[in-house]
Chain A
Amino acid sequence: MSLPIRVLVAKPGLDGHDRGAKVIARALRDAGMEVIYTGLRQTPEMIVNAALQEDVQVIGLSILSGAHNAIVPRVMELLREKGMTDVKVVVGGIIPDDDAADLKRQGVAAVFQPGASLGEVVDFIRSSVPV
């Protein structure tokens, strides 16, 4: 039997709206993944360090405040610096289409906008992590 997929669910920035992050964390856990939730107000440095220590295959970033253009590129840059480019980054939240396209160009594996189903997120993570 293969080991469960390990996911870090992180809430960067000053925003405290953690409903989505918590629901996703629980859904991934119910789908058999191992989920580490960082809690609120994590800097990109804290997130990437946690990802390294916890040896995760996926980082899920939940951002609703509009600060994604400042936060996500920094996370991607730190992952490159640390040679962690095999870690998949998925972003969920209020991300306009143009910004979502930009983030994907920078290496983000998927962007889930409002209305995305839990099933879609679970399926995407399962299909993108090599067994």
Chain B
Amino acid sequence: MSERPFTTISGVPIEPLYGPEDIRDLDPARDIAAPGQFPYTRGIHESMYRGKLWTMRQFSGFATPEETNRRYLYLLEQGQTGLSVAFDLPTLMGYDADHPLSEGEVGKCGVAISSLEDMETLFRGIPLGNVTVSMTINSPAAVLWAMYLAVAEKQGADWARLSGTLQNDILKEYIAQKEYIFPPRPSMRLVTDTIEFSTQQTPRFNPISISGYHIREAGSTAVQELAFTLRDGIEYVQWALERGLPVDSFAPRLSFFFNAHSDFFEEIAKYRAARKIWASVMRDRFGATDESSTKLRFHAQTAGCSLTWQQPYNNIVRTTVQAMAAVLGGCQSLHTNSLDEAYALPSEHAVIIALRTQQVIAYESGITAAADPLGGSYFLERLTLDTEKAARGYICQIDQMGGMIPAIEKNFPQREIANASYAYQTAVERGEKAIVGVNVFHADHDEPIETLHIDQSAQHHQTKKLAVLRATRDNSRVRACLDALRRAAEGTENTMPYILDAVRVYATLGEICDALREVFGSYQETSLV
């Protein structure tokens, strides 16, 4: 093994010691202020976790809506405070469970939802007026959200009281996660439709969660994650403003989602810099005057890509360190990964350990007692300033390209991420980056663990239900609603009311997305290596 240089996991060089001379350029009032005060570097609330702990929200979903519903009821009973829906790949791509491309994928990476009927089953016994629900869905987000709203309606819940989050961040799909359906501009129109609709109808719902998580998982550095995410945020704000929405009418409901990776201080600096940059972007670039428009609220998830297949119990420790960084960085909600997720979707046992990890941090560690307890650390404040500067550099560069869509079309963020990911992997290969159990301290035999296995029965079950649905619903109403949606999509009206009408008569996800595909076309990326 070669000598390891002292850098963060993203490759930023670290000095042996930091002292007062390293933060001479820091103006405490301007750069950090007090928690709850602009620019919120130290957190968005004055009392932080004394006032309210973060929401413990475990992302979950697998196989059929029936099975996932049972898992949700169990998690709520175990003290989880919010739900977070993981959809399977066909759902993410806007295909029904009985589509040929869904073969082998139904229920594998999340729960399969093809129609309002499935969504009703998913939330059976869960009053949507009383629980906050986050949904990780992007390209077809408007459709799944419409199904959710329709279930709430059937339960008798007031839309104005619904609280939750739609991921709905299409830009990071082109950049990193690659679950896109339509080209960027019509996709942005759909996102803007949901933001506008939510401003009018669901004032407590976050219509978007602007996500760096997937950018980081695709191999970016911490700075790239931060910069591309905030620049995506700027793009959504610009589109909403162009729609004619006043900035303070929607900006308070924009939420963010960041990765919690293994480099402890680098991550904490990233969250602090994120709040600081966003506060000034909203106030100075967009003229927001409502304080809540300038407060960056974020969900964090520990880094899936850091989990190892070798010695899987070590993953509990990794997750703990990462979760502590998220908490010390001031997150509003948190998902902790399970020890078995390098293998499969997590088993119930593993999920509970992950949830307990958060509970131990919250109730035993003492790190929640004072707001931003690491604020003022020479090292952390230096890192925060440097992270901010580097991220602002990227944001400027993308501004000069004409915004995020032209940057994506030039493959700029994609190439930056691919370069960072290759640099990291080759550093691991050379032994410059250590991964315990993988390139250092390996064992001959790993203790086997039990993992969740999802067989083909979910696909058969879902396909059968769809056949019954297609045969028993009022198909002439379905056709009429899809025609109306197509016409709305061709024009400039908000599509949400039409999508709602279609899901209410049990048009399927695939049928609705096909109608939109006919109007918008499909997106193909130029793949480069």
Contacts and interface: CB of A to CB of B under 8 A. Distances in A.
Interface of A: 9, 13-19, 22-23, 25-27, 29, 35, 37-41, 43, 65-67, 69-71, 94, 96, 113-115, 117-119
Contacts of B525: 39-40
A18 B177 CA distance: 8
13 contacts: A13-B104, A15-B105, A18-B527, A22-B421, A22-B422, A23-B421, A37-B527, A37-B528, A40-B525, A66-B344, A71-B104, A114-B342, A118-B429
The 8 closest A-B pairs by CB, nearest first: A70-B104, A16-B178, A39-B527, A114-B309, A67-B104, A14-B89, A66-B108, A25-B529
A16 B174 CA distance: 10
B73 interface: no
Contact of B89 (A13, A26, A35, A119): A13
Contacts of A38: 527
Interface of B: 89-90, 92-93, 95, 101-105, 108-109, 173, 177-180, 217-219, 305, 308-310, 342-344, 418, 421-422, 425-426, 429, 435, 438-439, 451, 454, 524-525, 527-529
A32 to B, nearest CB: 15
A14 B438 CA distance: 29
A19 B524 CA distance: 17
B529 A26 contact: yes
Contacts of A19: 217-219, 305, 421
Contact of B108 (A26, A65, A113): A65
Given A14-B101, A16-B177, A65 B342 contact: no
A126 to B, nearest CB: 16
Nearest to A66: B108
A94 B418 contact: no
Contacts of A17: 177-178, 217-218
A27 B428 CA distance: 13
Contacts of A23: 219, 421-422, 425
A37 B95 CA distance: 25
A67 B219 contact: no
B418 A22 contact: yes
A117 to B, nearest CB: 6
A13 B527 CA distance: 16
Nearest to B109: A65
A66 B527 contact: no
Nearest to A37: B529
Nearest to B92: A14
Contacts of A117: 429, 439
Nearest to B89: A14
Given A16-B173, A27-B425, A115-B435, 10 more contacts: A13-B104, A14-B90, A17-B218, A18-B218, A22-B422, A37-B527, A70-B103, A70-B105, A71-B104, A115-B308
Given A22-B418, A114-B309, A65 B89 contact: yes
A67 B105 contact: yes
Contacts of B451: 96
A72 to B, nearest CB: 10
Nearest to B93: A14
Nearest to A97: B448
Contacts of B435: 115
B342 A18 contact: no
A18 B219 CA distance: 10
